[in-house]
């Protein structure tokens, strides 16, 4: 008898995590020779434990699956549930009983570091109990911080969103070019600066905004920043600065913590503000020029307006490739991208050992960051440029993007 | 001898203020029978006073003018310069000498309330000194707060940006639908709630997010808001709430001031936060659920990703129509839109007395707001729906939108 398939999504959403879901489901539904029913787990492994499961086939028949491909967010819902380290914990047999109940032979989990941890644990438990269920990880994260892969699905679209938005903010900031000003753009990325670095792609010509870019890979010195900003305004009246939310002083303190130490609201709560807000006040105090800070916020991971064609294609393909590998017997692997040498951008899809990937973090190489820590070099541009290429036309209805959602 | 034309932009940018610039320049350049040289003033009337003027014709020849049409921000640069109330002030003869120097017979100013004030004063001064220079206002503002016009260019694209972004944020907010949460979206509009109301267009079905919408047209009661939010979460686990930056308590205090009264940063500065941030803390305190606030910020006025085809077309046409009216002798007028009765959306372009428009503000009719002040009714949807229709394909290069800029 053919074994069934189950697929889930976990962690924060991206613009293309549903494209990978599409890839898994489409491929699995079209391999009727290998797979039985294709299930989706609602709200990840946590929802699955509570019996929240749906049949995915009707979505293909209704045309909804095609719409899922370009819908941001997690169609199946997500969770942040960490499986216990101890493989003797009672949750494991409970999960595997549920797998048996649904006749599951293939398990696909689309997510980042933590989700790969789930794949790792389940595949190790399967080995322990001699289960033949195959566990595969499909990568996704706007943070681009997974190791053993050239990049991750989700990053290209987020980078394209950041680059185009910073380009637009730079136009907006420059309209009063007879007066000096500082615009600080705070970009997601606690420990890895990949997304903040994408601000560099916004430049239309050499010397264009953003003139300063600070990543969390190096220590951030507020005084040095004020000097950098003052110097930059000698050349460009209205400067735009990209900072990662995770910039820190190199001694264990995030810059955003400097602000939240002091502000207390009506309820006595710390006023949690970001690094951008702190720097806004710093510029006001030290330079006395017009200043504004902008937090790009969740649109970085959920905007469908700047989908990268390359990213979308790779997200679908990594889901489909995961299914192929599982059909051929792979388990305990994550689909990864290997960039091929040569002028033109090409990648190979490979399956890497998920145990070597989970709970690790890939940061921007220090040698790609300029020596003074205030910009990113050509190596990054060469790396990121192909990932934001290609436009995607999202279906629209009544003037707005049309999205799939669970009814 | 043919008189020359000068056009300027003033106030905050929009996604289509350059489309109106395109409309003025294109129309004027193509009426060689009437007009001489077409000049642009750089940084508005303030820049003009300092002799910052450029010839616009080369832009048509180079193809740059076509690119200007879909470029957000103010291509010519802007200013916030208010002409003196006293028409006997020395700046007026100084300006008119400059007009004479450039052989100006036609003056076009693209902007909002304050810019129309400039058009009003200049046309009144012209009358006083029997100058035959014609002064015309071309409307623009994302706030949609100009009187005597159905709506303003810039509003449709901003509303479309708000609606699509709120729709995406709602998807993002709903991924952990096993837990309750509140997401507060703060939208531009100090006194007029037109843009915040556009959040209602994001709904995919009845009862969908955003479940609560608060405009500055009515008094905001924080306690009532907490009750509204708690009640809404009984039906929808993850609620999205749209609030205008300008919500106030009805007694002269902005909600955002409640927060900034208390937070003080390292420098002793008030921590200026928005109404959304204040409500975020309020929800944390009173409801104890997961909460996040998002400020849509300047992308509302400078994003090119959600251009409304209707808005872009009308912005171009209002610029061109202004030129036609001036050629026929009009002065002291602003181009306005009159919506025609009938099922299908159609407008007439008219020229209204700028003196009746400047320094006034049109707010959302109170009868369009639900009685409890927490939502907007069908009248608004019917009003705004046609304004966000139509997709625009912005030229791209290297994976990013291609924008015009002054070299």
Last residue of a domain, one of B275, B302, B329: B302
3-state secondary structure at position B239: strand
Using a CB-CB cut-off of 8 Å, the residues of chain B touching A282 are 267
Do B315 and B260 share a domain, yes or no? Answer: no
B129 alpha carbon, distance to own chain's centre? 34
**Residues contacting residue A100 through CB under 8 Å, at least 6 positions apart:** none
- Give the pLDDT of residue B268: 52
Closest CA to A183 of A204, A160, A210: A210
- Give the pLDDT of residue A261: 46
Q: Could you say which of A168, A176, A403 has the minimum Cβ distance to residue B72?
A: A168
Q: Could you say which of B9, B167, B273 has the minimum Cβ distance to residue A403?
A: B167
Do A166 and A293 share a domain, yes or no? Answer: yes
Last residue of a domain, one of B266, B287, B302: B302
A63 lies in some domain = yes
**Residues contacting residue B284 through CB under 8 Å, at least 6 positions apart:** A267, A269, B291
A195 lies in some domain = yes
Q: Measure the CA–CA gap between A49 and A118, rounded to whole angstroms.
A: 13
CATH code, domain with B225: 3.40.50.460
Do A77 and A126 share a domain, yes or no? Answer: yes
Do A131 and A262 share a domain, yes or no? Answer: no
The B residues from 129 to 188 touching A (CB cutoff 8 Å) are 160, 163-165, 167-169, 171-172, 174-178
Which H or E run contains B407?
none
Do A247 and A316 share a domain, yes or no? Answer: no
Q: Are B192 and B112 in contact (CB under 8 A)?
A: no
Q: Are B186 and B296 in contact (CB under 8 A)?
A: yes
Do A166 and A282 share a domain, yes or no? Answer: yes
Beta strands in A10-83 (DSSP E): 35-41, 53-55
CATH code, domain with B50: 3.40.50.450
Q: Specify whether B143 is catalytic.
A: yes
Q: Are A202 and A166 in contact (CB under 8 A)?
A: yes
Q: Report whether pLDDT(A267) > 70.
A: no
Would the CB atoms of B271 and A269 count as touching at under 8 Å? Answer: no
Q: Which two tokens mark B88?
A: 């006997």
Q: What b-and-e string marks burial along A371-386, b requiring 16 or more CB atoms within 10 Å of the CB? A: eebbbbeeebeebbeb
Do B334 and B242 share a domain, yes or no? Answer: no
Closest chain B residue by Cα to residue A293 = B297
Do A118 and A214 share a domain, yes or no? Answer: no
- Give the pLDDT of residue A1: 83
- Per the structure, the count of domains in chain B is 2
> Whole-model pTM above 0.80?
yes
Do A335 and A293 share a domain, yes or no? Answer: no
Do A210 and A335 share a domain, yes or no? Answer: no
Convert the pLDDT of each residue in A316-340 to its tens digit: 999 999 999 999 999 999 999 999 9
B211 lies in some domain = yes
B68 lies in some domain = yes
Strand-pairing partners, residue A54, are: A40
Domain that residue B309 falls in:
3-143+304-359+389-401
Chain pair A-B, CB pairs under 8 angstroms: 215
**Residues contacting residue A293 through CB under 8 Å, at least 6 positions apart:** A183, A184, A185, A186, A274, A276, A277, A279, A280
Convert the pLDDT of each residue in A20-37 to its tens digit: 999 999 999 999 999 999
B378 lies in some domain = no
Task: Look up tokens 């028409």; give the residue.
Answer: B87
Do A203 and A269 share a domain, yes or no? Answer: yes
* Cis amide prior to B210 (ω within 30 degrees): yes
Would the CB atoms of A400 and B201 count as touching at under 8 Å? Answer: yes
Last residue of a domain, one of B302, B328, B345: B302
Does A345 contact B at CB distance below 8 Å?
Answer: no
A378 lies in some domain = no
> Residue B347, by phi and psi: left (phi above 0), alpha (psi -120 to 50) or beta?
beta
A373 lies in some domain = no
**pLDDT tens per residue, chain B (407 residues)?**
899 999 999 999 999 999 999 999 999 999 999 999 999 999 999 999 999 999 999 999 999 999 999 999 999 999 988 999 999 999 999 999 999 999 999 999 999 999 999 999 999 999 999 999 999 999 999 999 999 999 999 999 999 999 999 999 999 999 987 789 999 999 999 999 999 999 999 999 999 999 999 999 999 999 999 999 999 999 999 999 999 999 999 998 899 888 654 444 445 555 556 899 899 989 999 999 999 999 999 999 999 999 999 999 999 999 999 999 999 999 999 999 999 999 999 999 999 999 999 989 999 999 999 999 999 999 999 999 999 999 999 999 999 999 999 98
Does B71 contact A at CB distance below 8 Å?
Answer: yes
Sheet harboring B181-187: ordered strands across? B212-214, B238-244, B181-187, B290-295
Do B86 and B136 share a domain, yes or no? Answer: yes
Q: Measure the CA–CA gap between B244 and B278, rounded to whole angstroms.
A: 12
The A residues from 259 to 318 touching B (CB cutoff 8 Å) are 259, 261-267, 269, 271, 273, 277-278, 281-282, 284-285, 292, 294-295, 297-299, 301-306, 308
Would the CB atoms of A178 and B43 count as touching at under 8 Å? Answer: yes
A327 lies in some domain = yes
Convert the pLDDT of each residue in A75-124 to its tens digit: 999 998 899 999 999 999 999 999 999 999 999 999 999 999 999 999 99
- Give the pLDDT of residue A262: 44
């Amino acid at each position: 008898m053919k074994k069934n398939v189950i697929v889930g999504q976990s962690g924060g959403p991206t613009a293309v995590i549903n494209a990978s879901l599409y890839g898994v489901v489409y491929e699995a539904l079209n391999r009727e020779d290998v797979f039985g029913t294709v299930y989706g787990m609602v709200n990840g492994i946590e929802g699955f434990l509570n019996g929240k499961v749906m049949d995915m086939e009707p979505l293909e028949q209704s045309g909804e699956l095609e719409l899922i491909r370009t819908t941001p967010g997690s169609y199946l819902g997500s969770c942040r549930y960490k499986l216990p380290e101890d493989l003797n914990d009672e949750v494991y047999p409970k999960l595997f009983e549920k797998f048996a109940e649904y006749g599951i032979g293939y398990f696909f989990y689309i997510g980042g570091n933590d989700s790969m941890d789930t794949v790792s644990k389940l595949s190790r438990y399967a080995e322990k109990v001699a289960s033949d269920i195959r566990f595969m990880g499909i990568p996704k994260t706007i943070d681009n911080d997974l190791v053993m892969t050239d990049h991750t699905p989700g990053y290209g679209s987020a980078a394209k969103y950041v680059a185009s938005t910073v380009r637009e903010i730079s136009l907006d900031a420059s309209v009063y070019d007879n007066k000096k000003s500082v615009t600080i753009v705070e970009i997601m990325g606690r420990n890895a600066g990949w997304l903040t670095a994408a601000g560099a792609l916004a430049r239309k010509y050499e010397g264009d905004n953003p003139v300063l870019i600070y990543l969390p890979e190096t220590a951030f010195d507020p005084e040095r920043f004020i000097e950098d900003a003052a110097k930059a305004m000698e050349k460009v009246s209205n400067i735009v600065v990209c900072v990662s939310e995770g910039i820190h002083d190199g001694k264990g303190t995030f810059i955003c913590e400097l602000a939240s130490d002091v502000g207390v609201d009506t309820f006595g709560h710390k006023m949690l503000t970001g690094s951008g807000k702190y720097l806004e006040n710093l510029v006001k105090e030290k330079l006395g020029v017009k200043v504004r800070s902008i937090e790009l916020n969740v649109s970085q991971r959920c905007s469908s307006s700047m989908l990268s064609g390359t990213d979308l294609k790779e997200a679908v393909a990594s889901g489909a490739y995961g299914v192929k590998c599982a059909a051929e017997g792979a388990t305990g692997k994550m689909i990864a991208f290997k960039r091929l040498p040569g002028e033109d951008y090409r990648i190979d899809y490979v399956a890497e050992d998920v145990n070597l990937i989970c709970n690790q973090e890939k940061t921007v190489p220090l040698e790609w960051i300029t020596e003074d820590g205030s910009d990113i070099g050509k190596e990054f541009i060469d790396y990121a440029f192909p990932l934001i290429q290609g436009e995607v036309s999202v279906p629209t209805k009544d003037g707005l993007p049309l999205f799939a959602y669970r009814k």
